[in-house]
Amino acid sequence: MERASSFVVRITSSSTSSLFFREDRSLLPRPTHQRSALRVRRALLGNSLYRRLFFWALASIFLLGLALRFTEPRLLRERVHDLTEFHDNAKSREDGEIPTKVVTVLTAGTETPEVPAWSPDMLNWLQFRHLDGFFVGLKALVPHSEYRPEHPRAAGEESPYPFTISYTGLPTPTPFVPQPDYASAEYRSQYHEVKTCYLDKDRKTRVPDTYAYHGVVQGQSEPVIGSHSLLGLRDDVCFDRFGRYGPYGLGYSFDEGGVEVGIDTEKEGSEAVWSRTGKINYENMDWGDAQTRCFESNKKRFVDASASNEPTPAKSGTSSGRPGHKHKIPRTAVVIRSYTGYRWTHHALLNFRALISELALRSGAEYGVHFLLHVRDDNEAIWADPATGQRILNENMPREFHSLCTLWSEDQMRLVYPGHFGSSFSNPSGADIHGVYRSAHLPLQVFAMNHPEYEHFWNWELDMRFLGNYYELFDRLGAWGRQQSRVGAWERSAKYYIPRYHGSWDNFTQVVHDETVASGRPAVFGPVTFPGRVPLRSELGGQSFIPASCARRTERARCGVGEEADLITLNPLFDAEDSGWVFASDVTGYPTDQPPPPRRSAIITASRLSRRLLAAMHEETWRMHHAMFSEMFPAAVALHHGLKAVYAPHPVSLDREWDLHAVDAAFNGGRDGSAGGAGSPFDLRNEHNHKGTSWYYNSEFAGLLWRRWLGYAQYDGRGPGGGRDGAGTLRGGREDEQRADGTGRMCLRSMLVHPIKWELPAEVEGYYKG
């Protein structure tokens, strides 16, 4: 951890001048940091008279708009959990009695989707009504065995609406611990002891638990794409905002060491999440320091990269079987891509506190978290002058994360990867080959080469959230990747898995196999050949990335089972050729008088890359001067050299009641039933299908759902023409969740959401103005 690196200025806590600690220059001043949309406006509004005038004008326009809105007839009728029968318990509460039993009948939505006449066939999701179950609250929690989803349902299966719920007060959340039971005899017989890590130097404050509710909210939709149970994610628990973030500072004041967001939302029963630890004071937290201490006390557990060149053993351990032999485990880095100018918010702060706590500290340093901070101004002397580095940190990163930061710039990439890169088949963005837009992987390659202590690297972004516990997500994705056979892996990974449509994973595997056979194309296995292919040095030396066991015919089907995946993506690894994806031909350095090399791509760069994949990409870059667009290069290099790559079908929700045939037609509409080639959902003309998903760069549903879950009222994105962003009726938020006849705050099963461009309603202005 303390290694000095030759290229990258790493600012550690010890090199940080104490001057900066004494100064109260927190990046997130009290009260809550708010975004200012335009620089010009800020200057103009410096004068308080102008400011008052401006806000009066703004308020008048708003009120006028509001008046107009209410004079119009309502476009759509009320839909969400319309309560037809309710025994008011407000009175008994006033009398000081605890409500004993409340019976509520929830009815289904009555929305009639409006399909505008002009709508071409391609917007066929307009015909499906919006789902309501996502927004039902905790009072409708039922055991998993009683749960019936609003969607998807098999043909003939009855709707869960209307349903009656009975409850005695609110349910109570319990600690949710997805890490192995480190104290168990079983764990200790196989692995070295795990030393508990603490937030503070004095080892007094333990890293808190996250809390979950046992059960699922009745009627809530099931994810349509991907699956909890397939990946080993719990599908019988749900998370509310307090169980998720309360332990890290949500829901309490600055004076108590919290971040003062969430206090103004509905919060009945939220105190439970602080019952064991109290409200933790994060005021002087130094996460890098905590992470380093955690690693130091657990060093013995891990493969020592500097001590041996032997390949690291699989975590699951095909052990030597010697009694008393303890496995050492490889470590994984989570590298969060930050950049100068990013406006930190308290919600973002909470999210990364959670990520570091759950992944690095509660795992006894199995994971290490780092911020890779892109310094966008190439003129900054980030390698020459520590004071410059410190100033950039002060201006761009919350102080508590400073000691986790590595700074880099595009000029640095030009220095590390010099020379001529040849011509590109196409360059739609017109951007520079060393630039972050086309080559976001370059600094990750450099980071990996400078951090031999890690075997795998998660590339992560600031506008992603996991509604759930990060350890559960990353651990289960890694374990699932390890279990996958290499046989048919590229073909399965090229297709969205829709469990209610395809059946079990075995069914899906069969479907893909049949489609591959029918296509007449050979399945990919091992390195691919193509004109202009240049072998890696290791390949020239006779080495292969294919495990030796794969050569034995009898074991062929199990080839790769137990082998760590070199690449795990969170969207399909689709064939970019003919796909209509804008950057499909942004391929540089290969002979342009030949067809472009075969390649795969996965939209959204969030993925796990192995050290050996990053090393191959590094060599492709510096030695062969090869490059491809950011979302394509890792997958294409893995394809070319026979590395193991998988798309992990994590749970993704849809906002509308899609017919499952339509889901398959839209999302697997490419060549041979895949997501690639002609008809791909990543074709610019088809990408609109993703707007109602919970995980896609242009999703509008992800942010809406996330903010409702955080407790803020949102326009429900409904209305003529699809509505979506900022359209429809304002729903949710405190009044709605507190209503005596309401169901309380939302509780959702774990899911990834992206993109989250803003969270607090006060930030919205800046977002809409870009």
Ligand X SMILES: *[C@@H]1O[C@H](CO)[C@@H](O)[C@H](O)[C@H]1NC(C)=O
CB 551 within 8 A of CB 653: no
Q: Considering the rule CB under 6 A, would residue 507 count as an interface residue with ligand X?
A: yes
Measuring CA to CA, how many Å separate 434 from each of 27, 265, 412, 591, 762? Answer: 30, 45, 9, 20, 36
Minimum CB separation of residue 230 from ligand X in Å reads: 14
Which is nearer to ligand X, 428 or 503 (by Cβ)?
503
Which is nearer to ligand X, 503 or 531 (by Cβ)?
503
CB 583 within 8 A of CB 428: yes
Which is nearer to ligand X, 467 or 511 (by Cβ)?
511
Minimum CB separation of residue 495 from ligand X in Å reads: 15
Site track for ligand X across 445-484, x = CB under 6 A: ----------------------------------------
**With left for phi above 0 and alpha for psi between -120 and 50, is residue 169 left, alpha or beta?**
left
CB 216 within 8 A of CB 142: yes
CB 332 within 8 A of CB 473: no
Measuring CA to CA, how many Å separate 704 from each of 280, 683, 727? Answer: 29, 24, 11
CB 27 within 8 A of CB 394: yes
Minimum CB separation of residue 434 from ligand X in Å reads: 48
Judged by CB under 6 A, the chain residues 331 through 370 that form the site for ligand X are none
Which is nearer to ligand X, 507 or 698 (by Cβ)?
507
In 191-298, alpha helices (H): 228-231, 241-245, 287-298
Minimum CB separation of residue 511 from ligand X in Å reads: 7
Which is nearer to ligand X, 503 or 721 (by Cβ)?
503
Minimum CB separation of residue 506 from ligand X in Å reads: 6
Contacting range for ligand X; rule: CB under 6 A; set: 348-356, 502-510, 512-520, 613-621: 502-510
Could you tell me which of 225, 674, 682, 227 has the C-alpha nearest to residue 494? 674
Which is nearer to ligand X, 377 or 514 (by Cβ)?
514
CB 699 within 8 A of CB 693: yes
Strand order in the sheet with 163-167: 83-86, 102-106, 163-167
Minimum CB separation of residue 702 from ligand X in Å reads: 29
Instruction: Give me the residue whose beta carbon is nearest to ligand X.
Output: 503
Distance CA 375, CA 757 (A): 20
Among 175, 428, 452, 503, the residue binding ligand X under the rule CB under 6 A is 503
Strand, helix or coil for residue 400: helix
Contacting range for ligand X; rule: CB under 6 A; set: 271-279, 465-473, 500-508, 598-606: 500-508
Distance CA 478, CA 565 (A): 7
Size of the site for ligand X (CB under 6 A): 3
Q: Considering the rule CB under 6 A, would residue 661 count as an interface residue with ligand X?
A: no
Which is nearer to ligand X, 237 or 498 (by Cβ)?
498
Take residue 528 and report the two structure tokens written for it.
């691919």
Contacting range for ligand X; rule: CB under 6 A; set: 214-222, 355-363, 501-509, 746-754: 501-509
Which residues are CB-neighbours of 241 under 8 A, at least 6 positions away?
250, 251, 262, 265, 709, 710, 711, 745, 746
User: What is the per-residue burial (b if ≥16 Cβ within 10 Å, else e) of 596-627?
Assistant: bbbbbbbbbbbbbbbbbbbbbbbbbbeebbbb
Could you tell me which of 668, 676, 769 has the C-alpha nearest to residue 726? 769
Rounded to an integer, what is the distance from CA 661 to the centroid of its chain?
27
Distance CA 291, CA 269 (A): 32
CB 703 within 8 A of CB 758: yes
DSSP state for residue 117 in the 8-state scheme: T
Which is nearer to ligand X, 346 or 502 (by Cβ)?
502
Contacting range for ligand X; rule: CB under 6 A; set: 378-386, 503-511, 570-578, 673-681: 503-511
Minimum CB separation of residue 620 from ligand X in Å reads: 40
Rounded to an integer, what is the distance from CA 330 to the centroid of its chain?
23
Measuring CA to CA, how many Å separate 373 from each of 14, 319, 461? Answer: 19, 39, 11
Which is nearer to ligand X, 175 or 503 (by Cβ)?
503
Take residue 439 and report the two structure tokens written for it.
């080559």
DSSP β-ladder status, 405-408 and 367-374: parallel
Minimum CB separation of residue 128 from ligand X in Å reads: 22
Minimum CB separation of residue 657 from ligand X in Å reads: 20
Contacting range for ligand X; rule: CB under 6 A; set: 255-263, 472-480, 499-507, 589-597: 499-507
Minimum CB separation of residue 512 from ligand X in Å reads: 12
Backbone φ and ψ of 350, nearest 5°:
-60, -45
Rounded to an integer, what is the distance from CA 658 to the centroid of its chain?
24
Which is nearer to ligand X, 68 or 154 (by Cβ)?
154
Minimum CB separation of residue 573 from ligand X in Å reads: 23
Minimum CB separation of residue 236 from ligand X in Å reads: 23
Angle between helices 442-450 and 611-622 (to 10 degrees): 120
Minimum CB separation of residue 508 from ligand X in Å reads: 9
Which is nearer to ligand X, 264 or 514 (by Cβ)?
514
Query: CB-hemisphere CA count at 13 Å for 21?
Result: 14
Which is nearer to ligand X, 16 or 485 (by Cβ)?
485
DSSP state for residue 356 in the 8-state scheme: I
Minimum CB separation of residue 504 from ligand X in Å reads: 6
Minimum CB separation of residue 663 from ligand X in Å reads: 14
Which is nearer to ligand X, 60 or 507 (by Cβ)?
507
Return residues touching ligand X (CB under 6 A): 503-504, 507
